[in-house]
Structure 1
């Protein structure tokens, strides 16, 4: 009986039935993933070799954006943000009073599928959508206009982005270690409390609080810097993902650390499901007892993953400055090169969540088609049912897995290209830039191998 209750809690906590269907991993294990992994790693190594002989002008020219349309005013952002806040209120109410089933309640589907998977990827591809969609800016400016409010305190400069890092780690702890992050009854008060805490922070410190202390907004701004499109000089521009790295100021230490932690959280989100991790913490992967039994282990694992990856990045950057004959520029190099990690984080985010999203988006469509479960067909989807059949054939699973692997490899290729361009910009000479990248390029090649191994590894959680 105890095992049945634990399993039920685990299925509720995994926020979406896609994660309850593990058949795709069985077919993945039958694919020649070893050859695919070797091909992906070889592609990244070839990129390193090509970049090492690429002329400096060519390396910088790769990231020169093309001018597009002139930018217009952003007066609509307050209205859109206010509408986003209203939608969030309705979702929280639905979480409290709606169906307990996370596949029929709109709150967990909106938070974990539409926001955390779809919107994050779109943000990283097309630009700063969160600037309009965040649920804080609209209510803040409307309240400020009505009541002529002014910030009570000036945001302390010395705090920097450290509060945002703490905020994001709290979000990651819920995502990775909470026993039931998809349970609407538990998710609703967490979402409401998170919004209220940061809204009060904005009332006290002004809008800078959201840009410096609210973890989700900082994460989304980081991903927006990877995007193809962005506004510069009063005009929309488009370029190779990561082109903004060369045009923006180097981030402060806290923000650079935040960028690396983003990759660490995404990587551990995949690692904590593998047979390797479950065996390490003494859990039988074939009889997984549920998330409530591994809360402490996952919290410790998250902390270790963040610490190890930040330390590894620091070591490789420091070694690179030593090889370039400029160890005193380590601090500058750490801050300049940290954004190059972001394409890897985005690529793995896409790859890791792709299988679950393919199922969970069907639950979203079912909900939109018949929101009250009254037999409606608002989207014209009659007799609509959710299927996981594409996880049961070799052909479709090969396509899905290659799509995932492609996301990881492309992210690493972009990271290597942008890292080298940043090094050229920083050191000024081809030889110094190339030497400074030897350690970091090796780190990225090994991380490619690690990311592809995660995708191919058997899972028991």
Structure 2
């Protein structure tokens, strides 16, 4: 763990714990954005990205020049190979049989674990075995040692054994011997590979073990059907997606068996190879802001649920990126034909050069998935002892903890750069030798490689830009129903009962002015439990329970809770948990894939406004603490041990609630947690959301945490309290692969940047503001803050910062007359829309620009502003 220590000169530690104590109420009144977690993660490069892109492109160009000058032997026959380390087959029959038995057993185990095991993807073997080992790992094995998969293919092995038994019993072949149409080529394999990539990149339940099991079972049926119809060898060569993919990756394996490389690909195989490239690029594209904007446009244009709309958007994106790559490749081949004198045809050239793209595909896989394999692949160690997630320890490895520090962001970036550049240089080398074998003169050969090299340079720049793009979490945010002024509240919406907090149905025929949809990114709490619907709803229960002043003697009440939740309680009509959207792609360390849960919540309110931030701040369904901690604090206050607020503590003559530093209170709470764990205690309001067994597990986790750490301050933040004293507090980074915010999420916080308003001019809509912002130039461990005009910063930075301009208009008597945010214009200035929104009179406009979410110590401009009569 990384530890951060904050030293204070004052003798006393401020009451952070007390602030956390009322967080359940405070979150309902806080002005926060609609998306529960929005994060952008990046590694700050030691030099600007433009230099990397220029250097990488130059490396490809220089390699072309060197290859053109010194390589004169055409690509014919087999390339030189390193000594073969492994070549299973006829020479190694025992090893081949053992490998087949092992893969068949693992395949069966994956299906069984998916069907019958724990459905938590990190506690079940199926997701790791399929997505990490079965796909990413075997790509690298094939690229190094050849197509070992062809020998140990579990489905082919089962069919082969069955065919052998059938032949001995009946004397006939198991397959029907139907002729495979030549015109089909490998299109069936491409269709199946597209389906596999669609499952990985689009299907929202790709990490769900049961879904993986059904998909594996269905794929087995498809494969065996193809083998039964056309024969085992024919289907493996034409229709089996993984045999084709691993075979393509193995084509230039340095330790694999030699093979000829001068035969052209078929049209379908050309399309297949291009798809191997494009699918990985599309995977990286999903993490870019550009894709987030495009996806939101498609979602807004497609009718239906948001989940279905995003699936449609990503399906179209996957298809479009493949067609774009295929189109650019065919266009480059058409230009090659022109510059080479019109012969051979562009289609012939495309088939001839198709396999030269394989090194690029291998480089892309390394760039996007190596850190994924090195980190997520470690889960195989504990899962080998407990594949079903039942708590077994068959091999003694169940206690292994994944080390996410095995690779760092710096390693990930340099590996990506090296892999992409090396892949393109290898492709240039193979393309040149292929051209020597295809064309009849050195001049035509050299001319033909200009467009191919230009294509390689373009691929290099695009792929590196995608890898370097910040990782973003998109959310639909709050939406206002445009169809009608009043929105019908659905029957499933709930509202707490004042005084008790008990959740009950809103009731029939209830309407609201506003409908909000939140997508809360589920996280892991420090005690190891995961956020559920109960954690989202219990803060509402807490707020309504502790905000009723006339509840009688002994009734729960705190004036601070009453005050901070008044706005939300006055306007909230109902809240409804729609469901949980489990998605498979959430890159939070390089390209490491995490399973995440998006808890979809609808909120209905009596509030008429078109300001998204004000709508989102109404009562966001998000909890910084598990419901157990909030309920534990309530019980402490109920029993008279403490009070939530300082004023109430002074009035009652009790402690101000402190989950950390009060030994007496900690002892009381520890006894209480043990009792709650025995009884499976569920507070009022959660009876229908939490079972007794679930409650026992949650209380047990809280008790275990308190015994291990000496306090009850459990949150879902990125830092966890480690130790404390009157002079200092030590917190440690909370690093867990189940936590949705990964390495780099908070990089902007240590060096906050500011914005400065440099020029103010009148504009048609109100005011025009010219702005300077600070940018950070990092060089290894040092950095320099540079102030430059916003237009310059936006033009030169590949990663534009998040910019917000806020303004407040004060009337002459000091009252707030108007508030809002400025619009960023195309000329990089902000426009404040004041026209027609203020009555005649004198005003003062206070405005500031926030860079990267930094709202600390802003540079506030104060502008006198007059609205004349009739204007």
Structure-2-length-normalised TM-score: 0.45
- 1:210 equivalent to 2:224? Answer no
Q: Which of 107, 118, 129 is the equivalent residue of 2:126? A: 107
**CA distance, structure 1, for counterparts of residue 323 and residue 124 of structure 2:** 36
- Please tell me the root mean square deviation across aligned C-alpha atoms, in Å: 3.0
Residue number in structure 2 paired with 1:338: 354
Q: CA deviation at 1:318?
A: 1.4
User: Matched residue of 1:231: which SS?
Assistant: coil
Change (3 A) 1:270 1:329: same
**CA distance, structure 1, for counterparts of residue 210 and residue 436 of structure 2:** 52
Residue number in structure 1 paired with 2:247: 221
**CA distance, structure 2, for counterparts of residue 357 and residue 49 of structure 1:** 35
Q: CA deviation at 1:453?
A: 0.6
1:47-446 paired onto structure 2 within 5 Å:
47-57=63-73, 63-65=79-81, 73=91, 75-76=93-94, 77-78=96-97, 80-148=99-167, 149-152=173-176, 153-207=178-232, 208-232=234-258, 244=259, 247-282=261-296, 294-368=310-384, 371=387, 374=391, 376=393, 378=395, 384-389=400-405, 396-446=408-458
Q: Determine which structure has greater relative contact order: mean sequence separation of CA pairs < 8 Å that are 6+ residues apart, divided by chain length.
A: 1
- Identify the range of structure 1 (169-178 vs 372-381) with the bigger mean alpha-carbon deviation: 372-381
**CA distance, structure 2, for counterparts of residue 81 and residue 62 of structure 1:** 28
**8 Å contact from structure 1 (residues 178, 292) kept in 2:** no
**CA distance, structure 1, for counterparts of residue 343 and residue 39 of structure 2:** 48
Change (3 A) 1:22 1:115: farther
**8 Å contact from structure 1 (residues 82, 137) kept in 2:** no
**8 Å contact from structure 1 (residues 117, 350) kept in 2:** no
User: Matched residue of 2:122: which SS?
Assistant: coil
Q: Deviations over 1:56-113 (max 9, x none)?
A: 1398899434676997535343553243123201110101111111111001100001
**8 Å contact from structure 2 (residues 248, 358) kept in 1:** yes
**CA distance, structure 2, for counterparts of residue 115 and residue 129 of structure 1:** 13
User: Matched residue of 2:43: which SS?
Assistant: helix
Q: CA deviation at 1:389?
A: 4.5
Q: CA deviation at 1:310?
A: 0.7
User: Matched residue of 1:57: which SS?
Assistant: coil
**8 Å contact from structure 2 (residues 280, 365) kept in 1:** yes
Q: CA deviation at 1:373?
A: 6.0
Aligned residues, how many?
421
- 1:454 equivalent to 2:466? Answer yes
**8 Å contact from structure 1 (residues 180, 291) kept in 2:** no
- 1:35 equivalent to 2:51? Answer yes
Change (3 A) 1:230 1:278: same
Q: CA deviation at 1:370?
A: 5.2
**8 Å contact from structure 2 (residues 289, 472) kept in 1:** yes
**CA distance, structure 2, for counterparts of residue 197 and residue 139 of structure 1:** 14
Change (3 A) 1:58 1:159: closer
Q: CA deviation at 1:53?
A: 1.9
**8 Å contact from structure 2 (residues 81, 256) kept in 1:** no
Q: Deviations over 1:361-415 (max 9, x none)?
A: 222222235556647484668x632343567xxxx32222101211111111101
Change (3 A) 1:417 1:60: farther
Structure-1-length-normalised TM-score: 0.83
Tell me which stretches of 4 or more aligned residues in structure 1 moved more than 6 Å. 20-23, 58-62
Q: CA deviation at 1:51?
A: 1.9
**CA distance, structure 2, for counterparts of residue 31 and residue 117 of structure 1:** 30
Change (3 A) 1:281 1:437: same
**8 Å contact from structure 1 (residues 351, 403) kept in 2:** yes
User: Matched residue of 1:230: which SS?
Assistant: coil
Change (3 A) 1:185 1:61: closer
Q: Compare CA radii of gyration and give the structure with the larger one.
A: 2
Change (3 A) 1:174 1:28: farther
